[in-house]
Structure 1
Amino acid sequence: MKGEDIFVRYSRQIFIEEIGLEGQRKIMNAKVLVIGAGGLGSPVIQYLAAAGVGNLAVSDFDEVELHNLNRQIIHNERSVGVSKVESAEQFVKNLNQQVCFTGHHLKIDVSNADDLISAYDIIVDGSDNFATRYLVNDTCVKLRKPLVYGSILSFSGQVAVFNFQESRNLRDIFPEPPSDENLPDCDSLGVLGALPGIVGSMMANLVINIITDLPVPVNKLTLIDTFSWTFQAVDF
């Protein structure tokens, strides 16, 4: 893509004084790993690709199912039965061919977490289970990688930035994962389709803030309740 076309494409970001051309260059040089291409990963992938993140990687081991489509907006009916990583790659290519997409069709675990996470500047956790969340958190702490975290359930969501410039991490607010017994999840309690769009967009915004050296809230957990329409930041 020619320089003038790049400017036109990203002009509405470049026109923001706090970003400018230098900030856009940082975005285009960034290496971001999104773990999970589901409800949260979908808006994150969408907006990071739209912003022009130069190297965008996605890790997921699952396939698209019909019940995903109320909230996982990068997938469509033709994606059902296709791996989420493959579907995400097709979405990104259709949206922005200048983005270098890397798909990791795997389940992150203790055997591969270090190698996977070490290759990227910023990690985004859109996973849907506590085992993965704590593994990703602990690996980011060990490798000194900033982690943008989110979770959703029913009408409620959480967002935070962990381990950024020596800030606190997941274990500082929740030292141990809860017991697996009777854990609420989206399969049993559901999730309103627009909620992950709200939370995921906030996560994508935080990634851009980190890349472009804009203010980043640290040691704060933002609680989103779309039933009562309240937003609260909790220090930890």
Structure 2
Amino acid sequence: MSDRYIRQRTLNTFGDAAQDKLQQASVLVIGAGGLGVPALQYLNAMGVGRLGIVDADTVDLSNLHRQPIYTENDLGKFKAEVIGNFLKAQNSETEKVIYKTFLQPTNALELISEYDLVLDASDNFGTRYLVNDSCVILNKPFIYGGLFGFEGQVSVFNYRGGPTYRCLYPEMPDRVIADCNTHGVLGVVPGIIGNLQAMEVVKILTGIGEVLSGKLLLVDTLSMQTHKMNIAAIRENLELKSLTKEQYMVPCSSMKGLDPEALEAAAGEFFLLDVRSKDEFSAYHIPGSRNIPLDELGDRKGEIPVDRPVCLICQQAIRTKPAAAVLEDHGVALYELTGGLRNYLEFIKGVRIPDTQ
């Protein structure tokens, strides 16, 4: 066995047997952001045999204060690809599987079924409920982490008949509560909580220690006080047999930018919605995009799918803002083409178009 793990193997309560269990295990991490970055770093370094990474987001400048794997040179790049390359350089002995997609009702069961457990590092309630329900159906435990300013929460759900996430939070909150951009977070806090999640993964996989099942760990980093709250299992929450038609994807209300290069690389992952006029669309548009003019959008929201993120397109990223407001309650992750179609055509095609909105 590699000397890479010798400091772990020499622990009396860990040893070769536990290290072998890590190397034979597989973990799916949903999200490569504030919680996913520290968890992935340590799980990979410690020798978890196979790590799956699910994320279709790109690196934004506002990510860098709490996601220190990424640098300014990574802005606009897909997080899953950047962190995948980092993990390969960090430990060549583990397998990394990159899923450059969002977790959706159409792919959740298939993805999760291939792993021993799930570490939920998502940043919205819709994905978290989807993770929970999928894990219940597949009888897979998942490690939960939540952030609230200077505070964090950690627990393990669906572990050996223990409570599920719905036993703690039965129903999805409304959009005001679910808005992850209004709370803010201190950069170091996700690192603390993400590492606590990683520790729960290690305990489950190796059998050491006491797993946080049936308990919610509350961490106040300003006072460094912790508290454990008991969670009772509600039997009916363990009896899900299929994913419901409930709208899982409740994204952060703030629209994210998608630069032309990133859109070109992953256009198939997005529903491309062009909100310009019909005449503008006829003159030039991105292949595969759908045209619903802004003044018709409110009446035609039903034509927009809810099973994949939407990238809004207009000429100079001006009409995308009111379009996003119209779609705020549609339940999809919203992106806008940075700089609009004009920027896209200049960057990708080398074509200039008139200076209109």
Deviation at 1:156, TM superposition (A): 1.0
Give, in whole Å, the separation in 2 of the partners of 1:126 and 1:155. 17
CA distance, structure 2, for counterparts of residue 108 and residue 98 of structure 1: 27
Separation in 2, partners of 1:181, 1:155: 19
Partner of 2:32: 37
In structure 2, distance between residues paired with 1:182 and 1:175 = 15
Structure 2 letter corresponding to 1:29: Q
Paired position in structure 2 for 1:217: 212
Where do residues 136-175 of structure 1 align in structure 2 (5 Å cutoff)? 136-175=131-170
Unpaired segments ≥5 residues, structure 2: 232-357
**Structure 1 residue 27: deviation in Å?**
0.5
Does the 8 A contact of 2:28 with 2:117 survive in 1? Answer: yes
- TM-score, with length taken from structure 1: 0.95
Aligned-residue CA RMSD (Å) = 1.0
Once residues 182 and 223 of structure 1 are traced to their aligned partners in structure 2, the CA distance between those partners, rounded to angstroms, is: 19
Identity in percent: 43
Give the Cα separation in 2 of the matches to 1:202 and 1:89.
Answer: 21
The residue identity in structure 2 corresponding to 1:210 is: I
1:188 deviation in Å? 2.1
Is the 1:69–1:75 Cα contact (8 Å) retained in structure 2? yes
**What pairs with 1:38-117 in structure 2 (closer than 5 Å)?**
38-117=33-112
**TM-score computed with the length of structure 2 as normaliser:** 0.63
Q: 1:226 aligns with which of 210, 221, 224?
A: 221
- Paired residues in the alignment total 230
Higher normalized contact order (CA 8 Å, seq sep 6+, divided by chain length): 1
Could you tell me which amino acid in structure 2 is paired with residue 64 of structure 1?
V
- Answer yes or no: is the 8 Å Cα contact 1:155–1:195 preserved in 2: yes
The letter of the residue matching 1:134 is: Y
Of 194, 205, 211 in structure 2, the residue corresponding to residue 200 of structure 1 is 194
Secondary structure of 2:42's match? helix
- In 1, are the aligned partners of 2:125 and 2:178 still within 8 Å (CA)? no
User: 8 Å contact 1:75–1:91 — kept in the other structure?
Assistant: no
Provide runs of 4+ in structure 1 moved above 6 Å: none
What residue ranges of structure 1 are gaps of 5+ in the alignment?
none
Residue identity opposite 1:222 in structure 2: L
Q: Secondary structure, in 3 states, of the residue corresponding to 1:17? A: coil
